[in-house]
Amino acid sequence: MPIARRLLLPAFAIPFIARAQTPAPHHDPGRYSTLQGAAVTGLTAPQIAQRRTESPAPPGRPGRWEPRASLPLPRSEMAWAVAMEGRMHLVGGYGEGRVDRAYHHVYDPAADRWTTAAPLPRGANHVAVAADGPFLYALGGFTLQNRRADDGCFVWDSRTDRWRAIAPLPRPRGAASAVVRDGHIHLIGGAGDPPDERASVAWHEVYFPPTDKWERRRPIPAGRDHAGAVAWGGDIHVIGGRFNTFQDNTGLHHVYVAGRDQWERRAPMPTARSGHGLAILAGRFFAMGGEGRDITHGASIDSVYGQVESYDPATDTWQSHAPTPTPRHGLGAAAIGDWIYVAGGGPVVGGGVQSSVHEAFTLG
């Protein structure tokens, strides 16, 4: 059994103990697997043809991509990642033939190494995550494949490597966007039940850790799920997503002005998409990855997006940058230092294939 290794954390926190040390290589034969758990050595020509990389946005600094240590196993649909105490955390998702995994993988960029922390108390996919200090919040999710919304909410403490249950969601949902603002957790959008009529919602609820209670706030004007969200300057930006299905993606960009409990529009994302990553680097919001399907007159065109587009909140404008080497959706993306780390995700439309691919982007 591997020897547990104590990870270095800031002085104010007691380090958690890594449960497994996995120095995965940058390129390994197990970088893809199917939803049934079978290993895939490579993608087919029709699958590769789903990749889209051209952006209509004007070019900015291209930046560059570099490979990083692969995930310990192929996985997807964890619904985002979170940066916490200098590390990236990914929880839940699809992997090893199931869609209700309780994975909790932690990436240390200084060591280029993955470790495993305490798993979620219950497995789910499309779990919304947010971090505040030593606490990682995991909210809702689906227990079937992008279906059957769950109301379970949990918080993980990096000082003890333990999860505990907190007040459940007032209304079950998955694929929502979670953002921390002033110590409160805003949960916006997502999709609810019944499973056979899965539909996007506009719900906006706020969790207050000191009281373990939820309150409602003004809903987002256009209900959607699989959207990206970030906090900036006291406001919350929600960008992109889908209306019920990836056949109806949007580039809509709304900002929540908390002081007025109101939503306002901003410049839309140039490439409409859902299941993308969104992270802040050098004062800009970077969107990467995502998926979509266009059906016109019975003909279907599937797209997995590699476009990298960034938004400047000071000028309300977008630019394009070097696309991802491996376009994916349902990935984990988080900014740490001068890099955005993009791990896992589906390299083809839908949940049929997972990846362990991990690539990092910098403007430098």
Q: What angle do CA 197, 198, 203 make, to 5 degrees?
A: 125
Of 13 and 214, which is predicted with more confidence?
A: 214
Which residues partner with 206 through β-bridges? 186, 215
DSSP per-residue string spanning 88-134: EEEE--BBTTBS----EEEEETTTTEEEE-PPPSS--BS-EEEEETT
Report, as an integer, the average pLDDT of 232-240: 97
pLDDT band at residue 1, thresholds of 50, 70 and 90? very low
Residue 30: the pLDDT is: 62
Give the Cα separation of 82 and 288 in Å (integer): 15
Average pLDDT estimate for 96-102: 96
Please give the pLDDT value at position 37.
86
pLDDT value at 25 more than 90: no
pLDDT at 68: 98
Band of the pLDDT at 339, cuts 50, 70, 90? Answer: very high
Q: What is the mean pLDDT of residues 242-256?
A: 97
Whether 304 shows a pLDDT value over 70: the answer reads yes
For residue 8, the model assigns a pLDDT of: 32
Residues 307-332: what's their mean pLDDT? 98
Domains along the sequence of the chain with CATH: 20-362 (2.120.10.80)
Residue 48 has phi, psi (to 5 degrees) of -65, -30
Look up residue 323 and give its amino acid: P
Q: Is the pLDDT of residue 120 over 50?
A: yes
Residue-averaged pLDDT of the chain: 92
With a cut of 90, say whether residue 17 has pLDDT above it.
Answer: no
The secondary element (H helix, E strand) that includes residue 281 is strand 277-281
Q: Which two tokens stand for residue 77?
A: 């649909």
User: pLDDT (tens digit, 9 = 90+) per residue, 37-56?
Assistant: 899 988 999 999 999 999 99
Confidence band, pLDDT 50/70/90 cuts, at residue 133: very high
State how far the Cα of 317 lies from the Cα of 315, in Å rounded to an integer. 5
Percent pLDDT > 90 in the chain is 87
pLDDT at 115 over 60: yes
Q: What is the pLDDT of residues 138-174, one digit of tens each?
A: 999 999 999 999 999 999 999 999 999 999 999 999 9
Q: In the prediction, which pLDDT does 41 show?
A: 85
